Structures are given as structure tokens and as C-alpha cells.
Structure 1
Amino acid sequence: MLAVTGFHFEAPAIFGGFVGVDIFFVISGYLITGIIASEIAAGRFSFARFYERRVRRLLPALYVMVALTAIPASHDLLSSERAEFLRAAAAVVTFTSNLFFWQQAGYFDHAAVEKPLLHTWSLAVEEQFYLVLPVAVWAVLRIARGRRLVLPLTLGGLALAAFASAVILMREGASATAFFMSPARAWEFLLGSLVAVSALPAPRAGLVQQAARGLSLLLMAVPIFALRPGPGFPGVNALAPCLGAALFLWSGTGIADVPRHRLSPLNVAAFVGRISYSLYLWHWPIFAFARFAKPGLALDGSERIALFALTVVVSYLSWRFVERPFRTKAIAPTPRAVFGLAAAASVLLLLGAGAGLMLNGSTSEADRAAQRLDAYNSYDMKPVYRYGSCFTTPDGRVPDDCLRLVAGKTNILLWGDSFAAHYYHGLTASLDAESVNIMQASQPTCMPTFSAETQGVASCRAFASQMRDYFAQARPDLVVMSADWLENARPPRFDGMVRDLRQTLARLHDAGIPVVLLGPSVQFRTRLPSMLARATLRGVTPDPETFTRSDIFALDQAMQAALPTGEGVSYLSILSAVCEQRRCPLTVGGAPLSFDHAHLTAEGSDYVMAKVAPLLRPSVTEFSSRQHADDRAHQAGGEGARDD
């Protein structure tokens, strides 16, 4: 639970904290299967009693969270987001929120933080598993007639089939299906189930047990700190934390509880465990709505710490006054009462969601204006960036057409990653196409250097190799280099980035190829369209200083100081050209400068290059004049040879 909360609250180094959900699935399968199997063996199992416990455990705190979250949702969300929230609430009640969010943007996509009920997908997966598992275990044990291996073998076979389906889905590019769908997640629950029913002997106390416990912690900790969010999860990447959780459970088999000191860290962990369900329910909507209250939609470190403390308090109150009374039967003491109350609450929530959807039809002008800005979150950048041709190709190499020199024109090559590609549209609009030929060589995340060994991605190594070969035989009149310097310079990588750039600049200089290196692009604290939409919705005038990242200015100065300038090499500060007194533009003609945190829209690219192109024109003119002088000298030399 702490891993999940740390990931969502953007705690430092908790890059893969989302695997906490996978670890929980293993624990859940272990507990539930163990309870079912033991009750069946004792002749005490009852489907009604099982589902009564599940209702008491899950629904009261969940329904209270949904109802209370609807209050800020009514005024903090765009009308389209309110409608989605209400539909999500209905999906929560019907145990189908995983299906609902599967049809929306992915869990790791930009819009995820604007979905206050997104985290309920895992509860839907859990609830769906609970609908199937008791029936399956009961049926297998009836058929087994006392044969002990039948149940673990059956569960093991089902786990392997579910894991295989998840891997196949990942390989076919259906990572969202593998993430949200119960069949592809079932192996995680079943892994815990196997620990519960396999009857494996307990590890011997001492070295064996300690080794098992240490290995299990390592298997869980490494993904939490090292795994990165993205389409590569779950699948094989989920295997280590799940195996770690299973090994941890097994390593504790038969071990008696040990009394702990009142201030022991394990008692703190036990407290988190007691409130963990309410903590999971409340942490995400609290974080989401706290962001909406900030003009820049970003929380600093102290704010996140305070928010976590608030979340713990709210979660404790939920556990104390909602969870416990239902679980101890202080409220709804009989099965009939608890099922009746659950049914009534479900109907009320569904009716409330339906009424909210009907009343949500009318929107204000501010809401419509905010929606127009928010639509840029789905901006189609492909034609603007020449996606699939001169930017983002499968093998990392750009086609020859992107690099073709044109005789009689000044040939300018734009070289780098997406932060080079986003300047192409504006550069073509700002320079005369009759006299200038603009070429483009760009690949995602690939820094424009020849040092292929520093490029950690195979496509970047291929790209660097192609550019080495290209410059060995071609000589553009000017190379314009740009990249996401802020990402490439993250500590401790700044010195290595500068070293690679120096080596590349030196090689181009030795080849007689002039270079202009563009400094850091304008970057915002989070997605600019979302920040502008929230500001418009609240009637707040956007503040460039609040929206813009301050560290780009420090990086700009550091790069200017560290990189060589002189004959054939120029450093051009984008920020100095665009951001007057460090106040960067947010919109251009009603369109956001960027469609995300930094990548320019077509309007943004035109605006920035209109400021930058005049600074390039003297270089272009100089190089063009030099080219004509070389041509005249070559021509004169040829005539002299003929006279001889």
C-alpha cells in the first residue's frame, strides 16, 4: 500500500510503486483461497456467509468514498469529466469499473490523474475474482473426493494459462487489455492460492527461512524502485513482484507471532495494514482533487507530505467509523440486513449517477472554453512532426528523402529527438522555401550525438550510426541540433551529455560543417492544455511563472557556459528569444503553445521559430554566400585548367 501511495504521490525513486497492486492480488488470493478451502474441509463453508463477509469488507467504505467524492467532482471537473465520473460511479456499483476504464485512456496515460475513480479498476478485478473462485474451489474439491493434489494442480494449470494469455496480449500490443482484464490478471491471485493449498513444508527456521525472506523482499523491492510505468506492464514484468509476494507468504508459514515493542516499525506497518483498504480508496481522489486546486496542477514536496498525512487521517476515520462497525456487525447485524442495505445503497448510487448525467447536459461558456483547451490533450502531432517518416521509424533510421541535399539551395539539417521535430513546422514557415531546403533527422529520446554507446535504446544506436555515415559523405550548409536537454541532463548525466556534445561538435567542425545548437525548449510543470483548462474553468488568469518550469533557465545558463562557441559553432538560447523576462507565452491565437508539457503545437512551433529564425538568417546568409564563393572558385579553377 505504501508503494502504491508513494507512486501516485510522486515520491522520489518510487518509479514502480504500482506493482503494489500486483503484490496485493497475490495476498488476496492466498487469504481467500485459504479461508474457502479450510471451511470446505471443516464442512462449514457457505456461499451466503462468504459473500456476506465480502459485502461487509468492501462495499461500505467504497460507497462512502464514491458518494463523498461526488461533491468536489460537481465543481472541479469539466462537464465531460463530470459525465465520465458519474458513469465510472455506476461502473463501480456494478463491479465493472475495470471494463469502463479499459475503454478509456490507459492507466499510465496523461488523463489518468484527471480520473478520480480510476483506482477502483483493481477492486472490480478483485470482485470478479471473488465471484468465480469460491465456485471453482468448491467444484474441484467435490470432484477430487479427497485427492489432495487435484486442487493445487488445477489452480496451477489455470495460473499458467492466465499468465500465458497475459504474455500473448502484451506481445500483440494489447497491454491495456492485459492490465485491466480479470482473465489476464487471474494468475496473480492464483499464485497466492497455490501457496495456500499446496501444502508445501514450511521453511526451516534459521538460515533457510531468512534467505527466503530476504530474496522475497528483494524481488518485490527491485521493481518498486526500478520499474518504469508504461505499456511494458504487466506481463513478464509483473512476475518478479508476484513471485516475491508468494515467497514472502511461504517464508512465514508456521511462524508464530512475536510480541513487538509499541514503537516498533513493524507496528507502524501493522497500522498501515489495518487502514490499508481505506487508504487505497481515499489516497487517489484526495491527490487528484488537490492537484485541481493548484493553478499549475502540480504539488511540491511539502504539499505532498501534508497531503499524505491528511490521507492517513481520513483513512483512519473511514476505517474506524465505516469499516469496523460493519465488520463487527455493530451496523446491519444480520445477513438479511447487510444485503438489504447494500442493495439499497447500490440503487441510490445508480439513481444518483443517472440523475447527475441528466442534469449535466447544460454547460457554461467557461466550461465550453475549458473543453476547447482540454481538447488539445488529444492533439494529433503526427502530420506536424512528420511522424513515421522523418520522425519515429521502426528501425531508428530515417529515409534518404529526409536527408537529401538540393543543389542551388541552402541546405539546413534539423537533427535530434522530438524536441527537434517540433521545430520543423515553424522552421519551414519562417524560411524561404525557394532558397532554403530544410532536412529532418529525428527519433524519439535520441540525443543528436555520434556516441552510440551512450544511447541506451537500440533505435538510437542505429540512428547515431546512420548519422555518422551520412556526415562522412554529405555536407549540409548548416546543422541545427536540438533535444530534450532537461531529460538528458538529469543528475548525474549533465557532464556526460556535455562531453558527448563536445565530441560531436568537434567532429562536425573538423568536417567543415557549421552548427547551431538550440538550447532547452520551453517546458511546463505539467500538461499545458490541462492547466489552461482548469484556470479557465475557475476564472483564473494563467500565470506564466506558475506554469513554467524554473529549472530550464538554470540549465540554459549551464549549457551556454559548458559548450564551446566560436567559428562554425553557435549556441542559440530559445528561452532568451521567446520568454521575455522569463515569462514564456502560454497560448498563440487561442491555441496552447504545447499540447503536453513541452512539445509544440503547429501554432506554437510557428511562433517560436518566428522568433528564432531571424537569429538563424545571418548564419544562413553567411553559409549561402560562402557556398556561392566556393562555386565561383571551383568554376574559375575549371576554366584555368581548360586554358592550360
Structure 2
Amino acid sequence: MKFRYDINALRALAVIGVILFHFKVPYFEGGFSGVDIFYVISGYLMTKIVIEAILKNTFSFRDFYGKRVKRIIPALLCMIITLLIVDFFILLPGDYQYVSKNATASLLFVSNILYWQSSGYFDPSSELNPLLHTWSLSVEWQFYLILPIILVLLKKVFKFEKKHYLFFFIISTSITFVITCYFTQTKPTASFYLLPTRSWEMIVGGIAYLAEGHLKKFKKGIAYLGYLVLFLSLLLLTTDLSWPGAYTLVPVLATFLIILANQNDFILLQHPVVQFTGKISYSLYLWHWPVFVTANYLGMSAGFTSTVILLIISFSLAYLSFTYVESIRFQSSKYVIVTVIAICTSTFILSYYSFNEFIFKPQTIQISNYTKNHLDERKKQFSSGCCFISTTSEGKTLDKESCLQLQANRQNILLIGDSHAAHLSQSLREHFEKEGIHLNQASASGCLPLINANGRAECVEIINYIYRDYIKTNADLISGVIISGNWLEKINNKEQLISDLRTTIDYLHKLKIKVVIIGQNETYTMPYASIAALEYEHSESLWTNYFNKDSHLLNEVLKKEFKDLYIDIYNSKSIKHLSKDLTPYMSDENHFTKYGADLTVGEIISQKPMKRFLDQHYQGNHINTRAFDTVTKNTL
């Protein structure tokens, strides 16, 4: 095949987009779409290789899979082995076991399935996983396994020619895309990670091969348009969008048009820097995320200087990997497979035993393992699966009987929100019970508690029901509403967040319901339990190195906008970060432990907005029992 400068340039653009997104470089929030560019390229190349061999009667499964093994696995093996050696001396035992488990899944190309199954609020943080990015390699590998089987069967059973394959690919793309859009709304995590809802992107690449030669005019103009759209995608797409879905068509179709146009004579495409980046793109993709996670674990602050340093390290390691690993021509795939088996056996053992435990103090290990050792307590704290419906609460919905039951002759307050309402719910409920106040809870992950909610379908359904049905029907029975959320999700769309919050507040005020907003709490770049453990180990304060500055910025904006309705809980000085019995006040990057929630609720109750909010409860303003009798019969 004639060398395609355009495809190599696409690789360069894709990997740079992903790196800038992962390194949190401003204005490149859409860089995650680089993965989708890679998918289209892979679909094009693999379809071309397989179908051309099938039509020539020269296709061999052994040869195809053998080449994929020799092309993909050595560089991945090298990165994982190096990472495991370095992390042995850096990571806390629990974190090292977590990485070892992920290494096994990555080498077996099932890491996408593992991350889908372990993506809930009570699972280890993805930000702590230096192998998180291997999910996309697993999806590609699974596609490589299935594609030739299907194409060979179509040839043997139905005597397919190239034109028949084109029709089959178009139909397959249409069906899988519709399925993807549905599951992205109903099962977003599964849709993001799994092959069935990602396959259409690679199939589009196959269409680009099968449709070669059909584009006769305006090739240069179409190619220019494609590059422009891809560049704008890196700048304008946001993580708020449902992905994969309708918006995914933008980078996918742009890449499709560029490949179909087949324009290699653009000067910029042939620039040595562009082509070099494209050549090392696979190794660069492999190394950049482990470099970033390791730097984050060591407390390197985000900024221009640190980003430049991380880029230099990533490119250097990628160059070494490309030169001394990727470029090796392995005569047989057997040696590679034997090595994979040996390393997988080792990582499987490492994931079950704390081999590096002797490096750390016993108290350090106790602190770092807090979250893992208190999962049942956390689920009770959140009221998980009952009054808090997360992405992992399969088949469950809000228990209205338990969570929304109004009580006669008592004040009824409603707590509505996402996980940031749920992690305070138990502590708020316990405090209010002492005051004779009944707390109801409606919380779900995947959307913010706003009247114009958007996001995960189950979450939106719950929030819409609460605002448009439950609150409206029971306005005379609800004394007040507490809104709590991880407002940081809208850091890149603050104006819209403020507008939606005002609309929500106005709606409640029109129903004569008091409302307060619990503000944005501080967030960290890695789980606080690990930060507290490292602080104990080294006997020094390290937590400021792991602060997410965006949460402080957003808190200041919201505090200024909502003033008397806003309860500021950001980094409260009254909250001790580690208790006497070595309990951290946060379990992960942004959720309080029960210990931390108790202290935070004390802070919430002491602030003026909450005192004004609760003032009615100490002035004999009792519930309308007649309204209770007539309304509750038809409420639940």
C-alpha cells in the first residue's frame, strides 16, 4: 500500500488531542475525541488488510492474528513491566494491588470490561489507575478478533464481493449506531467502554476502504473541511456531551472524509514533526497516561511548567519504545505470547498479595485502606440502591415509600441532588431527627439536581419526577428543599449552571418553598485516603499539592452569585482532616466519609443561610395536617 501521509497525520492529531485532554491543557477539553479518530483509522486498515486477502484467497487467521500480536503486545508489555517495577517503590500496597489487577486485564485485553464493572462510586478511583487508557486498546483488540471471522464467513456462505461488503457495512453501522444512542442514554458506562457500542466507529473506517474511488470531485476541499472539523472538535466538544452518540459522528465522519479523500500532498501533512509524531503515536499513547498518573501521585502541581516536563518525558519514553521495542521484527509470535502468560501470572499474584507492604508503616496502610475496608458503611451513608441511585444500581429505582414518605405533625425537608447530596444524607438525617424534623432524600448520579436536568436517563427521570410531580403535588407539605451537587461538573459552563440554578430556585419560591444550596466542597486530584496515608508516612503536610483548583474557583463564583442561599463548606477550618482513630475525612477525591460528613453537617447547620432556612421550624409553623391527609393518599 502506498504510504498514507494523511493517515499518519491523523494519528498525530489524535494522540496530541488525547494527551492535551489528559494533561488538562486549557481549551482542549474535546481532546478525548482522539480515541474516536484512532477507531476509524483502525477500522479502515484492518478491513483493507482482511478483505483484500479474502478476495485474493490468501487470508490466513494465523498470519493475521500473529501480526497483531507482534505489532501491539511488545510495546504494551514493556510499558507495563516498567510501570510495575517503578510503582513497587512508589505506590501504597492497596494502590499497587489495584494497578497489578488492571495490568492483568490490560494484557488479556479485557480492561474495558473490568472498568465498566468497577466504575461506581464505591470502586477505586480511575484517576489513580495508570492503565485506564488501555480500555481503548481492549476494544480494538476485540474488534480485531471478531472482524475477520465475520468477513470470512460472509465470503464462504454468501459469496460476498467487495460491493456486498460495502452494503453490509453500511447496514451494520446504521443498526449499531442506533443501539449506541439508546444505551448511551440508559447505560452510559457500558456504552462508553464496550465493543458493541463502539464497533460502529471502526465499521465506518471499513466503509472508507470499501468506498475508495467513489469520491471523484472536491477531494482537496473535503480533506480541508475534515481537518478543520477535527481541530474544532478538539476545542469545542465537552465532556458534558453524551458519548458515544450523535456528537461522536462529528469526529468520526470528519476522519472518514479525510481518509476517503486520500490527499497526501499537503505540505503540513508531510512535515517531519507531524510524521514523527504519527509514527510514535502508539507508544506515545501508551506512555503519556502512566507518566501523568505517576506525577499526580507524587504531588506534581498542574501548570505550564509541569505540563512541559510531562510532555518531554512522554515523548522521550515513546521514542525509546518505538525505536527499541516497536521496531523489532519478531520472527514468531510464540515468544510474545509466552511472555504475556508469564507476566499475567505475576500480575495476578501481585493483585492478591501486598508484596510491597514492608516499605510502609502499619498506620499508613490502615489509612490508605480505609475506603476498601468500609464499603458497607459507605453504602449505608449514601443510602445506596434505595435513596441514592448510581450508575451501578442496576435494575433499581428510587424507593419512594422509604425515601419520600411525608410525616404528619412534623416538618418535612427534602434533600435532592447527586452523590454530593447522598454523602451528607445520613449525617443530616441524624441531626434533623434530634430536632424533630423529617428528612426525605432523592439522589441519583449522572445529572445535576436542576429543574432542567440533563444527563443519564435514569437520573433525569428521578429529578424530573421530584420537581414536576412530587414537589408540585406536595408543596403545602414540604417545608424546605436542600439542593446539593458536585457543581464542578459544570466548570466549563458556569453561566448555564448559574442560569439553571436560578430557574430552579425561582420555581421553588413560586411554590412558596424555602431553599438552600450546599456549596461546592474541595476536591483532590487523587483519593484523599491515599493523600492522608502519604502524609502520615512522611510526617508532613502534602494535601495542598493535590488540590483541584477548579473547585475553589467554582465555589467562589457560586458563593458570589447566590449569597444568602449558599452554604459555603469549602475547605472549612473546623474540619480536621484525620481523626484520632486515623479516619480520613474524605474517602476519594470529593466524597466525605461518615466522619467527614458529620463534621461538615455541623458546619452547615452553623451557617446563617441554614439558620434562616430552619428558622420557621422554631416558630411553631407546623405542617397542614388536613393537606397531608388529602394529598398523601395519591402521592406515592
TM-score by length of 2: 0.74
Match status 1:244 vs 2:249: no
Secondary structure at the aligned position of 1:605 is classed as helix
Which letter maps to 2:573? C
Partner of 2:229 in structure 1? 218
Greater shift in the superposed pair: 380-389 or 8-17: 380-389
Determine which structure has greater relative contact order: mean sequence separation of CA pairs < 8 Å that are 6+ residues apart, divided by chain length: 2
Deviations 1:498-518 (A, max 9, x none): 85588579768xx6x7x6846
Of the three residues 266, 285, 289, the one matched with 2:290 is: 285
Q: RMSD of the alignment, in Å?
A: 4.9
Greater shift in the superposed pair: 616-625 or 117-126: 616-625
Deviation at 1:83, TM superposition (A): 3.7
Percent identity, aligned pairs only, is 24
Match status 1:60 vs 2:70: no
Residues 367, 537 of structure 1: 8 Å contact kept: yes
Residues 428, 438 of structure 1: 8 Å contact kept: yes
**Structure 1: how far apart are the matches of 2:613 and 2:253?**
60
**Structure 2: how far apart are the matches of 1:21 and 1:533?**
34
Deviations 1:14-58 (A, max 9, x none): 445333223222211212332344455567666665455434422
Partner of 1:436 in structure 2? 436
Secondary structure at the aligned position of 2:495 is classed as coil
Deviation at 1:69, TM superposition (A): 1.4
Residues 520, 552 of structure 1: 8 Å contact kept: no
What pairs with 1:1-400 in structure 2 (closer than 5 Å)? 1-39=15-53, 50-51=64-65, 53-105=67-119, 111-134=125-148, 136-137=150-151, 140-141=154-155, 147-156=161-170, 159=173, 173=187, 175-176=189-190, 178-182=191-195, 184-205=197-218, 210-211=221-222, 214=225, 218=229, 221-222=232-233, 225-228=236-239, 233-234=243-244, 238-252=248-262, 255=263, 257-258=264-265, 260=267, 267-294=272-299, 299-324=302-327, 326=328, 329=329, 332=330, 335=331, 338-339=332-333, 341-343=335-337, 345-346=339-340, 348-350=342-344, 352-353=346-347, 356=350, 360=354, 363-364=357-358, 365-366=362-363, 368-375=365-372, 381=378, 383-386=380-383
Secondary structure at the aligned position of 1:285 is classed as helix
**Structure 2: how far apart are the matches of 1:74 and 1:92?**
18
**Structure 1: how far apart are the matches of 2:86 and 2:600?**
38
Residues 86, 357 of structure 1: 8 Å contact kept: yes
User: CA separation of 1:242/1:611 partners in 2, compared to 1, >3 Å: closer, same or farther?
Assistant: closer
Residues 535, 542 of structure 1: 8 Å contact kept: no
**Structure 2: how far apart are the matches of 1:377 and 1:165?**
38
Residues matched between the structures, number:
594
User: CA separation of 1:94/1:198 partners in 2, compared to 1, >3 Å: closer, same or farther?
Assistant: same
Deviation at 1:584, TM superposition (A): 5.9
Residues 44, 202 of structure 2: 8 Å contact kept: yes
**Structure 2: how far apart are the matches of 1:240 and 1:210?**
17
What pairs with 1:599-618 in structure 2 (closer than 5 Å)? 599-613=591-605
**Structure 2: how far apart are the matches of 1:159 and 1:415?**
43
Secondary structure at the aligned position of 2:369 is classed as helix
Secondary structure at the aligned position of 1:116 is classed as coil
User: CA separation of 1:534/1:525 partners in 2, compared to 1, >3 Å: closer, same or farther?
Assistant: same
TM-score by length of 1: 0.73
Deviation at 1:315, TM superposition (A): 0.9
Deviation at 1:383, TM superposition (A): 4.0
Secondary structure at the aligned position of 1:595 is classed as coil
Secondary structure at the aligned position of 1:591 is classed as coil
Deviation at 1:276, TM superposition (A): 0.5
Secondary structure at the aligned position of 1:594 is classed as coil
Deviation at 1:64, TM superposition (A): 1.6
Larger Rg: 1
Deviations 1:201-245 (A, max 9, x none): 233136xx5247526853785487425279x54466644433332
Residues 92, 530 of structure 2: 8 Å contact kept: no
Partner of 1:524 in structure 2? 523
Greater shift in the superposed pair: 396-405 or 374-383: 396-405
Secondary structure at the aligned position of 1:438 is classed as strand
Which letter maps to 1:375? K
Deviation at 1:484, TM superposition (A): 4.8
